[in-house]
Amino acid sequence: MIALQGVSKVYPARREGHTVCALDEITLSVQAQEVFGIVGQSGSGKSTLLRLINHLEAPTEGTVEVAGVDLAQLSLRARRAQRRRIGMIFQDFNLLANKTVFDNIALVLSLEGRRRRSQRDRVMEVLDYVNMADRAHQHPIQLSGGEQQRVAIARALVTDPAVLLCDEPTSALDPQHTDDVVEILSQVRRDLGTTIMLVSHELELVKTLCDRAAILEAGQLAGITEVSAPEARETYASYSERARTYLGPKEEQA
Amino acid sequence: MSQEQGFFQSLSRSIAQYQDEMVASIVETGIMLGASLIAALLVGLPMGTWMYLSRKNGPSPSGGIYAVLNAYVNIVRSVPFLLFVVALIPFTRWLVGTSFGTAAASVPLAFVAVALYARWVEQTLLDVPRRVVDLAHVLGASTFGMVTRFLYPEARSGLVLSLTTVTISLISYSTIMGVVGGGGVGDFAMRYGYQTYETEIMYTAIVIMVVAVMLIQATGTFISRRLDKRIR
Ligand SMILES: Nc1ncnc2c1ncn2[C@@H]1O[C@H](COP(=O)(O)OP(=O)(O)O)[C@@H](O)[C@H]1O
Ligand SMILES: [Mg+2]
């Protein structure tokens, strides 16, 4: 589904000084419906690798193909259309602050040229999928981080993308909200068969969600591993339950 | 009779006497401001947006375009305004057929309005987080779509506030338009206050301008707050 062939990325020098080689000769491929992790320390090139896949960054060398299409070869217009087949979510959610939840998602359909009337049902459908339908008319500032990320996932899914790119999707969230997001991403892979590429420095998250993971070190591919299934993960209904279990089972009477 | 009473009596007498001219001067200022603000929106907004897009590290960098637009903005803002008005007279005459009167006075004012607002628009758009541009790309927006559906909505409260600031600067610029017969409140104050020593009338005109500026600022701030959903 995704194939990188000898991909390098060199950023021009920010000021005076040396150029940054963010990725060096990366070759890897991701199967359809696979959940593929990318781990590595901060600055190892994870985000750059992800941004090459929807051509937010152009590779300095090598080719990147998604579903057999190399975005670098397309006209601007065709590339824009192709990009909408690739969903993306970010660490900081990246919702437009001045638009409601509903309008944040409807915007994507407007860009596809869908009429206002036919947008409504589809928007509510994806909002329902992430359990945010009742918040459709609120603004992002009124939502918690976890809720904002759920809306961002809905926005990424509204075009039925074949590929979903996730850049540190839980790094700004507390554990309880992380669970919500993990739950939805598992649900996405189960229900929709979306190919997911997940960047994170949190190994636990990658272990929970991914089939395989690439390890990056200073822009180089240090290996690709099969992820072994984690021990049954405890899920908690609430933050207080998680805290109680984690901190110690003995309870004083309140 | 106290001194104070005397002042107010002579004030109301002067106002009654010059009421018509005062109203006419307010209308003249309104026309000059209105025309320049329309120019600011129709030309300054796209120009500032283009500067934002074409600048180095902008979404579609182009050194040439940026240099030209930037030169316009800097030149118009740096030439002393009185000199600029005079220097522009041939163009004004060509454009509106005369170099005298309110319509003619609106021309140099419009040039300034465009330059001031273009710079503000550029700066306001720079305050929009870069990730919004990324998002527009991810969602496959064209450059036009990025500007109208992503940047303007996110920057809208800043765009309103900066238009407010431009309006207020223009009031100040417009006061010298008497030199080309543009009239306006400023010219009115000069004619009656300075030249014929009707001090009360001059202060009345000044008060009118101060109140106008306060109202414009309050309106701008109010609208901008209403548009801003970034804060609860
Ligand atoms: N736009 C850019 N310009 C210059 N250097 C960059 C840019 N983006 C990232 N880099 C550099 O590339 C390297 C990899 O960055 P990144 O892919 O963001 O790493 P990670 O996501 O693993 O933290 C870092 O050294 C970073 O400073
Ligand atoms: Mg990163």
A35 within a domain of the structure (yes/no) = yes
Report ipTM for this prediction: 0.89
Residue A99 φ then ψ, to 5°? -115, 150
A22 within a domain of the structure (yes/no) = no
A174 and A201 Cβ atoms separated by less than 8 Å: no
Domains in chain B, please, with CATH? 3-231 (1.10.3720.10)
- For position B102, what pLDDT does the model report? 92
Distance, CA of A163 to CA of A172 (rounded, Å): 23
User: Pick from A71, A68, A65, A67: which is nearest to A28 by CA?
Assistant: A65
> Which spans in A113-226 are helix H?
116-129, 145-157, 175-192, 203-209
pLDDT, tens digit, for every residue of A47-74? 999 999 999 999 999 999 999 999 999 9
User: Pick from A173, A182, A174: which is nearest to A207 by CA?
Assistant: A182
A2 within a domain of the structure (yes/no) = no
Any ligand 1 atom below 6 A from CB of A208: no
Q: Which domain CATH number covers A138?
A: 3.40.50.300
pLDDT, tens digit, for every residue of A3-37? 999 999 999 887 777 888 999 999 999 999 999 99
Distance, CA of A114 to CA of A2 (rounded, Å): 28
pLDDT-based confidence at residue A165 (cuts at 50, 70, 90): very high
Distance, CA of A43 to CA of A24 (rounded, Å): 13
Any ligand 1 atom below 6 A from CB of A13: no
A10 within a domain of the structure (yes/no) = no
Statement: residue B1 has pLDDT above 70: no
Any ligand 1 atom below 6 A from CB of A44: yes
Nearest CA in chain B to A91: B131
- For position A229, what pLDDT does the model report? 72
Query: Between residues A172 and B192, which one has the greater pLDDT?
Result: A172
3-state SS, residue A64: strand
A231 within a domain of the structure (yes/no) = yes
Closest residue to B140, CB basis, from A81, A94, A141:
A81
Statement: residue B93 has pLDDT above 80: yes
Statement: residue A178 has pLDDT above 70: yes
- For position A245, what pLDDT does the model report? 72
Count how many domains chain A has: 1
Of chain A, the end-to-end C-alpha distance in Å amounts to 55
CB contact under 8 A, B140 and A83: yes
- B93 touches A at CB < 8 Å: no
Residue of A15, A47, A48, A57 to mutate, ligand 1, most atoms within 8 A of C-beta: A48
CB contact under 8 A, B232 and A84: no
pLDDT, tens digit, for every residue of A129-148? 999 999 999 999 999 999 99
Compute how many other C-beta atoms are within 10 angstroms of the C-beta atom of residue B218.
Answer: 11
Note down the domain range covering A100: 30-54+69-247
Average pLDDT, chain A: 90
A253 within a domain of the structure (yes/no) = no
The share of chain B scoring above pLDDT 90, in percent, equals 75
Q: Which of A100-109, A232-241, B28-37 has the lowest mean pLDDT?
A: A232-241
pLDDT, tens digit, for every residue of B170-228? 999 999 888 888 888 888 888 887 777 778 888 888 899 999 999 999 999 999 999 99
Helix axes A145-157, A116-129, angle to 10 degrees: 130
